[in-house]
């Protein structure tokens, strides 16, 4: 244990108390007072900047109810296999998720009933009718093939 105390750990202990162990005031100042060096400054990582799309890609009109209905109907048509994939390849129909998206449009219709303009209400009615008819037609085709 005594050997451990003699090892140099790189730290120096300096007694800076103004009084001795007996309680009398020290007359001399602490010997060899060495000021601790402040730690090196920590470099902060630059904050990521928000990248705005070019002006040409932004729609002319703000997103609204019509945009939401259009988005959901396009998603449903993609899920039904009616719209090709990004590379132009044919995407197989995902009838389960197509039904879920149609159900979301129905929930939207129920929750907004009485709060839509006549044009918005007609748009939602027409989109739901067309998607439901297409869904049923594709189900019939799959039943004939299977």
Q: Where do the DSSP E strands lie in the chain?
A: none
Residue 7 domain-assigned? no
pTM score, two decimals? 0.57
SS3 100: helix
Kindly report, residue by residue over 115-146, the tens digit of the pLDDT.
999 999 999 999 999 999 999 999 999 899 87
Q: 13-17, 36-40, 87-91, 95-99: lowest mean pLDDT where?
A: 36-40
Residue 10 has pLDDT above 90, yes or no: no
Kindly report, residue by residue over 54-103, the tens digit of the pLDDT.
555 555 666 699 999 999 999 999 999 999 888 888 889 999 999 999 99
Residue 141 domain-assigned? yes
Strand-pairing partners, residue 19, are 25
Range of the domain at 98: 63-145
Residue 49 domain-assigned? no
132: phi then psi, degrees, rounded to nearest 5:
-65, -45
CB 69 within 8 A of CB 105: yes
Strand-pairing partners, residue 25, are 19
Residue 14 domain-assigned? no
Nearest to 121 by CA among 109, 111, 104, 132: 109
Nearest to 66 by CA among 108, 98, 100: 108
Residue 1 domain-assigned? no
CA distance linking residue 37 with residue 58, whole number of Å: 54
């Amino acid at each position: 244990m005594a050997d451990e105390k003699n090892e140099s750990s790189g730290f120096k202990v300096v007694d800076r108390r103004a009084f001795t162990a007996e309680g009398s005031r020290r007359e001399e100042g602490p010997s060899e007072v060495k000021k601790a060096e402040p730690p090196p400054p920590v470099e902060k990582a630059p904050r990521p900047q928000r990248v705005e799309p070019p002006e040409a890609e932004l729609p002319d009109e703000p997103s609204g109810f019509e945009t939401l209905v259009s988005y959901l109907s396009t998603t449903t048509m993609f899920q039904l296999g009616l719209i090709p994939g990004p590379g132009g390849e044919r995407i197989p129909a995902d009838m389960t998720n197509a039904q879920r998206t149609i159900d979301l449009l129905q929930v939207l219709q129920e929750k907004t009933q009485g709060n839509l303009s006549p044009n918005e209400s007609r748009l939602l009615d027409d989109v739901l009718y067309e998607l439901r008819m297409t869904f049923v037609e594709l189900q019939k085709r799959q039943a004939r093939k299977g």
